[in-house]
Amino acid sequence: MTSHIAIVGDGAIGSLLAAGAQRNQSPYSVLLRRQRPAVTNVVHMDGTSTTLHNREPVALSSRDLLIVPVKYYQLASAIEQWRHLLCPDTPVVLLQNGMGGHEVLTSLLPDNPLYLATTSHGALKVSAQEVKHTGMGETKLGVIAPVHGTSNEQALLNNRVTAQINACLPPVLWQQNIQAALWEKLAINLVINPLTAIDDVTNGALKHPHYQRQIHNICSETAMVMTACGFPTDTQSLVARVRKVIAQTANNYSSMHQDIHHGRQSEIEGISGFLVRQAKKTGIDVPINTGLYQKIRALSLK
Ligand code: KPL
């Protein structure tokens, strides 16, 4: 029996997932908060496009999958809205920028097998009906709440969920420690997202010598908090990783830049807000990240 993939929302990444499912002829549905015209066209990097044929939401069994690629601040209401579709064994994958969503998910869905994912694919919603795949990337996936069964059952489920995500947003790299992978991504977002949004620049502008001290200081605070939280690292390796992503995405506007400049709510609470909260818990001073957090919050209120 083919399994069904339900995707919450028709955001840029959600629509890429739906296009992957469509191309692989996997049954899927896109769950919308309210009735409205959804994304129907996804343009791929090679110029071809996929027309989405969305289906009605269906009740999800243990063989199916719910993927939640929504913003941090939308997560709780999305789960409240759609949990009636789930059975206690339906696996759920949270695919998000930033961190903190994991706690929300485990408190709302204490019984389900839960996975976290992060992707470096780039996608842009160019209109209410069209999404463009703007950058090739990879998707990292790992388990956070295991099934209540044997390790063999867990391994089988991990393989199935990996194959389902791989059909939608390949390549999938399985992570034994997905939290560590998310912290590494967070370290990058902590630099690029607020700086580009505040200064209204592309990611590539951060190559300028003018930004290097600030980048070093953000990474230094992040390295201290990561180490205190059990993910040991150092400033130099974070700076090197940040520089690599700046070079790889030089022409892009970061997601936070796009959110702020289109007057949308940003993901600052799951990025700098998360770091500031972890710093407080571990007794570490993070004045640079706190300043960026406050500046983005002030810009969001304008
Ligand atoms: O993840 C990103 C984002 O914009 O949110 C980066 C890696 C910074 C690329 O723009």
How close is the Cα of 139 to the center of ligand 1, in Å?
14
> Is the minimum distance from the CB of 245 to ligand 1 under 6 angstroms?
yes
Domain that holds residue 289: 179-301
Rounded to 5 degrees, what are φ and ψ at 97?
-80, 145
User: Which of 1-10, 182-191, 195-204, 287-296 is least confident?
Assistant: 1-10
* Beta carbons within 10 angstroms of residue 213's beta carbon: 10
**Tokens 């089988």 sit at which residue?**
156
Model pLDDT, residue 302 = 64
Residue 151 shares a structural domain with residue 24: yes
* Total of domains in the chain: 2
For the domain that residue 68 is a member of, what is the CATH number? 3.40.50.720
**Tokens 């200081």 sit at which residue?**
217
Q: What share of the chain is helix, strand, coil (3-state, %, to 5)?
A: 50, 15, 35
Counting ligand 1 atoms within 8 A of each CB, the residue from 140, 189, 238, 256 with the most, and so the one to mutate, is 189
Task: Give the C-alpha distances (Å, rounded to integers) separating 108 from 79, 111, 114, 157, 218.
Answer: 7, 9, 11, 21, 33
Domain boundary among 153, 176, 199: 176
Model pLDDT, residue 252 = 87
Q: What is the residue-averaged pLDDT of the chain?
A: 94
Cβ atoms of 65 and 93 closer than 8 Å: yes
Residue 196 shares a structural domain with residue 147: no
For atom 6 of ligand 1, which residue has the closest CA?
A: 254
Q: What is the pTM of this model?
A: 0.92
How close is the Cα of 150 to the center of ligand 1, in Å?
38
**What is the per-residue pLDDT across 162-221, written as a single tens digit (0 to 9) for each?**
999 999 999 999 999 999 999 999 999 999 999 999 999 999 999 999 999 999 999 999
Residue 20 shares a structural domain with residue 36: yes
Domain boundary among 155, 176, 197: 176
Residue 17 shares a structural domain with residue 154: yes
CA dist., res. 218 & res. 295, Å (int): 14
Compute the average pLDDT of residues 140-155: 90
CA dist., res. 168 & res. 180, Å (int): 23
How close is the Cα of 244 to the center of ligand 1, in Å?
12
